[in-house]
């Protein structure tokens, strides 16, 4: 019975990772194609749907950690996924996610990963994480005037829920969370890199 559930787990995670990888490849394709043909002004419109689908699918990774399908701790997964969802739905990931989901897709499907893909998975973040965090904070900051004027996602009273929500202040709070959160996640990823690459050398 344990063997059956292990097989079922691998099949599910393989399907999940390959599907999300396909979504991120679509995002990259549409971004590059539109940049070449129409310019950066039209990039988001071209990549919006696959971007929303691919990034929102990452919510399942939180559930995977909660139910024990993967070993990733919720304390690192939750802030990563939440910040990306906030940026995607509120205000581009593609290269880091292609590396990530190809790594897990190969690992779950074949039971191993080539050394070059393992190195990419645990080394590309050294540069991409810093540029990604800077981009996220920058994009939120640039979007603040639009959020304030448009009142996007705001809930005003009176309403049947008798509650209100101001997305402008939520965006400011999100920027504030990046300050203590980013170093914590970066240190966690450095520890993960050391552990994964050391294990690879021993094998």
DSSP string across 38-63? T-GGGHHHHHHHHHHHHHHTTHHHHH
**Residue closest to 153 by CA, chosen among 140, 167, 164, 141:** 167
pLDDT in tens, 60-98: 888 888 888 887 777 767 777 776 666 666 545 567 777
**203 given a catalytic annotation:** no
174-179 contact pairs (CB < 8 A, 24+): 174/83, 174/86, 174/140, 175/137, 175/140, 175/141, 177/79, 177/83, 178/83, 178/133, 178/136, 178/137
Q: Using CA atoms, how far apart are residues 55 and 83, in angstroms rounded to an integer?
A: 11
Q: Is 129 a catalytic residue?
A: yes
Catalytic residue among 61, 97, 108, 136: 136
| Tens digits of residue pLDDT in 83-142 | 666 666 654 556 777 788 888 888 888 888 888 899 988 888 887 777 778 878 888 888
- Under DSSP, is residue 155 helix (H, G, I), strand (E, B) or coil? strand
Does pTM surpass 0.95?
A: no
Q: Which of 44, 53, 129, 186 is catalytic?
A: 129
């Amino acid at each position: 019975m344990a063997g059956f559930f292990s097989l079922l787990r691998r099949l599910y995670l393989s399907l999940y990772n390959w599907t999300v990888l396909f979504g991120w490849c679509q995002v990259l394709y549409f971004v590059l194609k539109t940049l070449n043909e129409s310019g950066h002004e039209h990039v988001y419109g071209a990549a919006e749907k696959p971007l929303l689908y691919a990034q929102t699918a990452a919510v399942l990774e939180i559930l995977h950690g909660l139910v024990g399908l993967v070993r990733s701790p919720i304390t690192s997964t939750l802030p990563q996924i939440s910040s990306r969802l906030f940026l995607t739905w509120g205000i581009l990931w593609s290269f880091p996610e292609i590396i990530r989901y190809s790594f897990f897709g190969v690992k779950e499907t074949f039971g191993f990963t080539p050394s070059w893909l393992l190195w990419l998975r645990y080394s590309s973040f050294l540069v991409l994480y810093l540029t990604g965090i800077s981009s996220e904070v920058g994009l939120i900051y640039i979007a603040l005037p639009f959020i304030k004027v448009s009142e996007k996602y705001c809930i005003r009273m009176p309403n049947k829920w008798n509650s209100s929500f101001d997305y402008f202040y939520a965006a400011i709070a999100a920027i504030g969370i990046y300050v203590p959160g980013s170093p914590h996640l970066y240190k966690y990823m450095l520890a993960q890199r050391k552990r994964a690459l050391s294990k690879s050398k021993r094998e």
